[in-house]
Structure 1
């Protein structure tokens, strides 16, 4: 259905909410176990935002002339013990050709045919055995015959694999300009603002999947981020914006980041000291003798060899970074790429620096 108003922030949007549920309606709610939930075949919730604009930092000042709403991160200390204060002065999501956030126009996020999705899926269909998996997913990728070039500003159907369409003269499209200006103060030094802007950004094919791991008694998950932008820029300016340093420009920017998979999920935990722990456990090593000394399938345990062959050759487990051209100011340094990154083991642990 269309026409449901939504505005909890200084923004304007129209929300199209499609709720598709294939189960018969029950008179009362009952608790389901893991086995019963894994058999649910609902279509979940589809979410589409029409004519959406979000902007923080553009409100009129309050009665004292101060910024009306402040997005600030505190409680961080530098290595020499000084307080670190991160203030986001401007944050926006808007239509294409926004001139780095100066000209904000609406954009559509998702399409009725390819919406954002919130769903509980059968883990057996995605390699997570006998689990119900919560999935929050961006619009899907399509076949090359149906989709649009993920970077092309004038892409037509059949030119790529993204479902989000670029803006045209008659259509605002589903690709958003987004960016932020933030100020990082270390102690009393609040000298510069950092600006990050992405033009016509697309995150089709991205998702977050979460489930409970019985053996470790922890939350487990998979995270996939696809980020495409014809131009991603970073620069620093004085606090009043009167002077700026050279702009770093990354043209045709592509990031395909994979953290966790069905064989190596990412685990979320809080340790005994109250610090957050994120971990991707190492893949189990083969037992002695399961893989032949020459590494070939002949002479190896075939099931074990096939398992590791599938693991190391699956492109869905790997991350890629591609930049069509890397420039600083008026100098171009050409293209850059990092391909086939595979996380063998990862552990991120926060630490309380307070005495």
Structure 2
């Protein structure tokens, strides 16, 4: 647990819990000490962490998602039958061992940051962030299970003899779908040795539109991502979709092109990545060069189109479906010009 900029009392309590010392001494802070605490943020590290959920209907242990209708007006029930987060090598959830998440020098963070520092002027921005990426000379390859220091930009370390838990969890999920009275297939998703370093969610308020505004950066790396479906009654499974060396770097919203979050009058959720501002007449010269353009406007668009943090990429080292091999594929440098997603109730 990182104690920088957090109340001594809260930090002491959290450290005591994580260290397993329930008898740690706590003391009150004086007014002078409290005046030095700004409460701006906290770091989170989970050591020897393991999470497993399994549905046990007879004993009332069930994770159910309801309130969904099919296009025919039938009730759709989703049961989270299995969910696990554990150390790498879990054999698709069959063997669960503890894993470390984050490090003291690079934890998961919940913080309130100064918007002036991230291109959102005059705003306090709520930030949820995974461990930061590192320089190549210090970091680890994001995919390799045997990566050593100096091989890549990820901070999370793979399991080794000196660090048997590792910092890269196996993550798995099984969903059972029932439409009306008919039980359909189980959907199984498993990711091995997953890394999300560099991911961040930022939220702030927009005064002009009176809406919640966000910026979402998701980095997801795994040596193997698999998806398949199995019949609930016979347990017969279909072909497994297997993606090896899967890397997703998704950027939704940025300081110049924010992502707006809203709920419309019908109760449906709306997500919109706004269009980039269009140049005014004469702002950009006919030859596209800065010398013939308004300098500030040219710099604005140059920054937007050349900033790699605004672009998204997907890479699959090898894709197989059952016994069919489709080879590798990638989408690099995708820039979202405008995106609007609106949920809709399909019930009649």
Cα drift, residue 331 of structure 1: 2.5
Residues 198, 219 of structure 2: 8 Å contact kept = yes
Correspondent of 2:318 among 325, 329, 335: 325
What corresponds to 1:52 in structure 2? 49
Secondary structure (helix, strand or coil) at the match of 2:299 reads helix
Correspondent of 2:155 among 155, 163, 179: 163
Residues 71, 347 of structure 2: 8 Å contact kept = no
Residues 70, 346 of structure 2: 8 Å contact kept = no
Residues 57, 67 of structure 1: 8 Å contact kept = no
Secondary structure (helix, strand or coil) at the match of 2:237 reads coil
Correspondent of 2:187 among 194, 219, 235: 194
Whether 2:97 is the aligned partner of 1:84: answer no
Whether 2:125 is the aligned partner of 1:112: answer no
- Structure 1 stretch displaced more, 187-196 or 159-168: 187-196
Whether 2:239 is the aligned partner of 1:242: answer no
Correspondent of 2:92 among 67, 87, 100: 100
Q: How does 1:105-254 map to 2 (within 5 A)?
A: 105-171=97-163, 172-240=165-233, 242-254=235-247
What corresponds to 1:73 in structure 2? 65
Cα drift, residue 180 of structure 1: 0.5
What corresponds to 1:336 in structure 2? 329
Whether 2:17 is the aligned partner of 1:4: answer yes
Distance 2:282 2:182 in 1: 60
Provide TM-score, normalisation by structure 2: 0.87
Secondary structure (helix, strand or coil) at the match of 1:304 reads helix
Secondary structure (helix, strand or coil) at the match of 1:333 reads strand
Cα drift, residue 266 of structure 1: 1.0
Higher helix share goes to which structure? Answer: 2
Cα drift, residue 354 of structure 1: 5.2
What corresponds to 2:33 in structure 1? 25
Distance 2:40 2:216 in 1: 21
Secondary structure (helix, strand or coil) at the match of 2:51 reads strand
Provide TM-score, normalisation by structure 1: 0.85
Secondary structure (helix, strand or coil) at the match of 1:293 reads coil
Cα drift, residue 155 of structure 1: 0.5
What is the RMSD computed on CA atoms of the aligned residues? 2.4
Change beyond 3 A, Cα 1:111–1:5 = closer
Higher RCO structure (Cα 8 Å, ≥6 apart): 2
Distance 1:333 1:87 in 2: 32
| Ranges of 4+ aligned residues in structure 1 off by more than 6 Å | none
Distance 2:264 2:230 in 1: 40
Cα drift, residue 251 of structure 1: 0.4
C-alpha distance after superposition, 1:138-176 (max 9, x if no partner): 011000000000001010000000000001134211100
Gaps of 5+ in 1: 7-11, 15-23, 30-39
Change beyond 3 A, Cα 1:323–1:291 = same
Q: How many equivalent pairs are there?
A: 325
What corresponds to 2:266 in structure 1? 273
Change beyond 3 A, Cα 1:241–1:102 = farther
